[in-house]
Amino acid sequence: MTTKLVISGLALLVGTGYGAAALAQQKPEVLVKQRQSAMTLVGKYWGPIAGMPSGKAPYNAETVTRNAGYLEVLSKMPWDGFADSTKDVKSAALPAVFTDTAKFKEAGDRMQSTIAQLAKVSKGGDEASVKAAIADVGKTCAGCHDNFRQKQ
């Protein structure tokens, strides 16, 4: 490939972002591993704050702000990994992920918007509002897992 071709190829990649063209070349097994890794990290930063609204974990504003910031970025990552090409790869994703795509996307959007809200409120918000925002995020995890993930 000439340099010019490589450059225009790169420009195309940048232009389409994580669009279908770039994803089509990803191995399905790799996409599954990546989406699971993103979810694993979501679990890592969600865990310490999940129990704060109920008092199971002591409230710590600093932890919430830090973790919510991480979660805001992580919550954008799993979704392009649920590409159609992955539907036959063994994973905990139920077939509904690939058939009921509108509902799945809506559940993912809800998670992202409640996390974005939490990240906002966690910067200087009072304890009650932050706890309410954490609880709102929590509902979205189960809300999706109940319909789209194999029972553990």
Can you give the binding site for ligand HEC, defined by CB under 6 A?
Answer: 32, 35-36, 39-40, 42-43, 46, 91-93, 97, 104, 107-108, 111, 137, 140-141, 144-145, 148-149
Count of residues in the chain:
152
Q: Which is nearer to ligand HEC, 2 or 152 (CB)?
A: 152
Minimum distance between the CB of residue 69 and ligand HEC, rounded to whole angstroms? 14
Minimum distance between the CB of residue 77 and ligand HEC, rounded to whole angstroms? 11
Minimum distance between the CB of residue 121 and ligand HEC, rounded to whole angstroms? 15
Q: Which is nearer to ligand HEC, 36 or 129 (CB)?
A: 36
Q: Which is nearer to ligand HEC, 64 or 111 (CB)?
A: 111
Exposure string for 67-96, b = 16+ CB within 10 A, e = fewer: bbbbbbebbbbbbbbbbebbeeeebebbee
Minimum distance between the CB of residue 15 and ligand HEC, rounded to whole angstroms? 27
Asked if 61 contacts 128 with a C-beta cutoff of 8 angstroms, the reply is no
CA distances in angstroms from 6 to 10, 16, 19, 22, 37, listed in the order given: 6, 15, 18, 14, 30
* DSSP class of 149: B
Q: Which is nearer to ligand HEC, 13 or 41 (CB)?
A: 41
Asked if 81 contacts 31 with a C-beta cutoff of 8 angstroms, the reply is yes
